[in-house]
Structure 1
Amino acid sequence: MKPKLLRVLPGVLSLALTLAVPIPSAAAEPKNLQLMSWNMCGSQRASWGCAGTGTPQNKIDVVKFHVTDNFVQAALLQEVCENDLTLLMSQLGSGWSRSFQPYQWSQDGSRANNTCGESGGRTDRIGTAIVVKAGMSGAQAYSTTQPWTGQNRPFHCATATYWNIRLCNVHLTPAHGNPDQPTWEYADDQLAEIRNIVSGYPNVAFGGDFNVEPPYFAGNARSWLWPTGLYSTGPGVAGYAECDQGADRDTHDGGYKIDYVFSSETRRWCAVGASAYSDHHVVIYSIAVT
């Protein structure tokens, strides 16, 4: 039997079509980031309760230790004196960047920067800092609800450019934060505002001194401060996973957990460790950023 031949009609062009099969692109390899949060208790003012917690160099050495031994590449620092931050940066060496925002005391709405020392002592400011290796961009302070009279604490963010992740530093107003109105709470508004800000970033990590225990802790009379959509307390619950969730180790010498690091990214491991040089413990969250 003869094979059948393709008949081409006059005036009709026969086209041979080659189908291009797309080759799937490889998924981007995650970049691991070790993010540290620590309230350094750096103030030399007696009213801040940091007496006996070591010298500025002692505190700097804690940060450097974790950079070397736990491969910390970014840090969220609270209660750090500005001159001590400058000294830390000089000892970390090249390739590191910082963003600093001061604490302020508000007296009937009139604000003044807090200084590290008592009157007649150190005049450098005290505040919170974001410290990043391998590039920083877009450092920005955000306005949050603060006491009209009382301590005002900043909230600010910056992008760690190598990882393309937004990092934000938190220090919330504790209970009785307004001496004129000691029953007024501010942390509920602040947490809601922070949730709204961080939700605008696809890759984000935020942490610091929250001055409130987890919402699921029994007997926590301030659990209502946590807004929906911030603290993911389990699978299927909207919000962000917290570094030490489930273990919930103490982060303060008083025996309670008030320091946190949250992230939108994949959890690798979490470390919590006490230090002789602050009443707060160090928290390190290792995440895989995609």
Structure 2
Amino acid sequence: MRATVRGVTLTGAALLAVVVAAGAWVWSSGGADAPSASPPKTLRVITWNICGEAGGERGQSGYCPLRDRPEKKAGRIAALARERDANVITLQEVCGGAPGSHVALLRAALGPGWSVRHAEGARPDGETRCRDGLSGDLGVAVAVRGEIVRARSENALPPDPQGVSGQTLPVLCVRVEGWTYTPCTTHVLPGEEPRVREQIAAVRAFVRAEDRPAVLTGDFNRNAGAPQLAPLVSSYAVCPAADGSGRGAVTYHAWDPEKRAHRFHELDHIFFDSPPGVRDPLVDCGVGEDLMDTTPNEPGGPGPDGYSDHAPVYADIRTGS
């Protein structure tokens, strides 16, 4: 059975149309404060694997909803950020570094006051360029409502010992003017091969090298109770937290064509440091399942009912500032 979690209320089509058409938005008088160098008292984080570069037609294993509509994905991310009053957005499987890419479209949709950085990674074939007419290079991205003063990234995935895969998977951290916390994001290799533990250790070491409180987000390709994630679970608080069964909230949907069955998994997490002197720093934690495609991936089937095979995860974290 699917876990019951709070979904993110969808923004009306009319509002989305205005956001996308204008390429920006203006915060309402009842919304967030104007961006400044003052550290936010609450980090309002959204992380989302938007499967923006995945290949494949409907019915194929690499199928991604709305893959050919990057402007729709960027518009929905921006609308969700406004609805959540977010000040941190992190993305995986996103194209960036070129006009018309997801990152470029998102930067325009978010408008003034936001900064965005992108770090590229390579597919198993070793290529970084996004396929089939999409602009930019594959990778991860961090957007913040503030001024990024430094960005660091590195490939955290060790080389394939068999020399077959040329895949790279970056970890990206940014420092923001006036902020005490460092937002970071990554994408961890699926499966059980030894490189997974090495990659997770490299990610943890990279983030800890910031030597300051951090929020580490991403698609970790396993639930929070998985043994490979123990170094992160023992170092940070996590949203969504695993329950007693080792399972957390549903963040990913796959279709099994042989068994004609839905498969739901808990792959996406927000790890964060608890600031000294702050009890219960996690104000809110949830998953926007309404934005995840849950239709059977069959040839000639109906259109998707979501924007990605992943759902966005959000957390509001009290910083103690």
Determine whether 1:242 maps to 2:245: no
Match of residue 158 from structure 1: 174
1:226 to 229, 250, 271: 229
CA positional deviation for 1:157 = 0.7
TM-score using structure 1 length: 0.74
Per-residue CA shift, 1:124-174, capped at 9, x if unaligned? 212110111111122011342334332221111111334321111110111
**Share of identical aligned residues, percent?**
26
2:65 to 31, 36, 52: 52
Conservation of the 8 A alpha-carbon contact between 1:116 and 1:125: yes
Determine whether 1:131 maps to 2:127: no
- Tell me the SS of whatever aligns to 2:116: strand
- Tell me the SS of whatever aligns to 1:152: coil
Distance 1:49 1:133, change over 3 A: same
Determine whether 1:87 maps to 2:105: yes
Match of residue 251 from structure 1: 251
- Tell me the SS of whatever aligns to 1:195: helix
Conservation of the 8 A alpha-carbon contact between 1:268 and 1:288: yes
Aligned length: 236
Match of residue 190 from structure 1: 199
Per-residue CA shift, 1:220-259, capped at 9, x if unaligned? xxx332344x204xxxxxx211012156211101311010
- Tell me the SS of whatever aligns to 1:112: coil
Conservation of the 8 A alpha-carbon contact between 1:43 and 1:117: yes
CA positional deviation for 1:71 = 0.6
Following TM superposition, where does structure 1 have runs of at least 4 consecutive aligned residues deviating by more than 3 angstroms?
A: 50-54
- Tell me the SS of whatever aligns to 1:255: strand
Distance 1:65 1:162, change over 3 A: farther
Q: Kindly report the root-mean-square deviation, in angstroms, between the aligned alpha carbons of the 2 structures.
A: 2.3
2:285 to 258, 264, 270: 270
Distance 1:272 1:162, change over 3 A: farther
Question: Residue 157 of structure 2 aligns to which amino acid in structure 1?
Answer: T
2:183 to 167, 184, 187: 167
Per-residue CA shift, 1:94-141, capped at 9, x if unaligned? 11111111121466xxx432x2223xx335212110111111122011
CA positional deviation for 1:68 = 1.4
User: What is the distance in 2 between the residues matched to 1:209 and 1:44?
Assistant: 14
User: What is the distance in 2 between the residues matched to 1:272 and 1:96?
Assistant: 23
Conservation of the 8 A alpha-carbon contact between 1:192 and 1:227: no
Conservation of the 8 A alpha-carbon contact between 2:95 and 2:135: no
- Tell me the SS of whatever aligns to 1:69: helix
Distance 1:242 1:88, change over 3 A: same
Gaps of 5+ in 2: 1-37, 254-262, 275-280, 292-305
Determine whether 1:31 maps to 2:31: no
Conservation of the 8 A alpha-carbon contact between 1:31 and 1:163: no
CA positional deviation for 1:30 = 6.8
Conservation of the 8 A alpha-carbon contact between 2:150 and 2:176: no
Match of residue 218 from structure 1: none
Gaps of 5+ in 1: 1-27, 176-182, 216-222, 233-238
Conservation of the 8 A alpha-carbon contact between 1:43 and 1:50: no
Distance 1:39 1:49, change over 3 A: same
User: What is the distance in 1 between the residues matched to 2:102 and 2:40?
Assistant: 33
- Tell me the SS of whatever aligns to 1:35: strand
CA positional deviation for 1:29 = 9.3
